[in-house]
A and B are shown apart, each in its own frame.
Chain A
């Protein structure tokens, strides 16, 4: 199984400041034939299902604010929130869908400092 490791486990950021979440996979999730990274990011708020933010590592889902960005390739990925808003308080997960079983990171909890 591909192991997804997220860090930090949690972070507290002031409103309007940058939040950076890292995700590392135990093997590459870049498929060479189409040059796509099979990596997604989700946001989950309490009592709600996860919400898709990015797929193919950096393709923003419809309706996701542009203060969110996804980057990285191969085994190392980053989710950045450039100007944290109160509504961004949540747990963020990365997921690989390169091969089965699909696996998720352990989550990063983002709070307001």
Chain B
């Protein structure tokens, strides 16, 4: 079955960076894009952007442009999200999501806590 398994929780200091991984299985990794969505406590889901798993093209939400980078390793069927210049408002659960005509498979989420 399709699975997206994310890396574990992180605690980071303001101004630093975090890198979250998302390992896909159960389907051909390059056939579907990977999107990244975050959810802060008591906040609505927030889309960050996506990466074309085949050719590596990326599209970032204007809100995160310049501060986020998506990457992928096709040999490992893994996508990565790196967020820089962290601030307290970036404390959230980060999800990777399989995209396409439908967003049908979500990772379990990675809690990133930004605290001094």
Contacts and interface: CB of A to CB of B under 8 A. Distances in A.
Q: Do A and B bind each other?
A: yes
Interface of A: 40, 49-52, 55-56, 59, 61, 93, 95, 97, 100-107
Contacts of A105: 44
A98 B71 CA distance: 24
B102 A107 contact: no
Interface in B63-105: 63, 95, 101-104
Which label, helix, strand, loop or mixed, suits the secondary structure of the A interface? Answer: loop
Given A49-B95, A49-B108, A49-B109, A97 B44 contact: no
Interface of B: 35, 44-47, 49, 59, 61-63, 95, 101-104, 106-109
Given A95-B103, A101-B49, A102-B47, 19 more contacts: A40-B102, A49-B107, A49-B108, A50-B95, A52-B104, A55-B102, A55-B103, A61-B102, A97-B103, A100-B59, A100-B61, A101-B47, A101-B61, A101-B62, A104-B44, A104-B45, A105-B44, A106-B44, A107-B44
A103 B102 contact: no
A25 B95 CA distance: 24
Contacts of B101: 55-56
A61 B106 contact: no
Nearest to B105: A52
A100 B47 CA distance: 9
Contact of B45 (A50, A55, A61, A100): A50
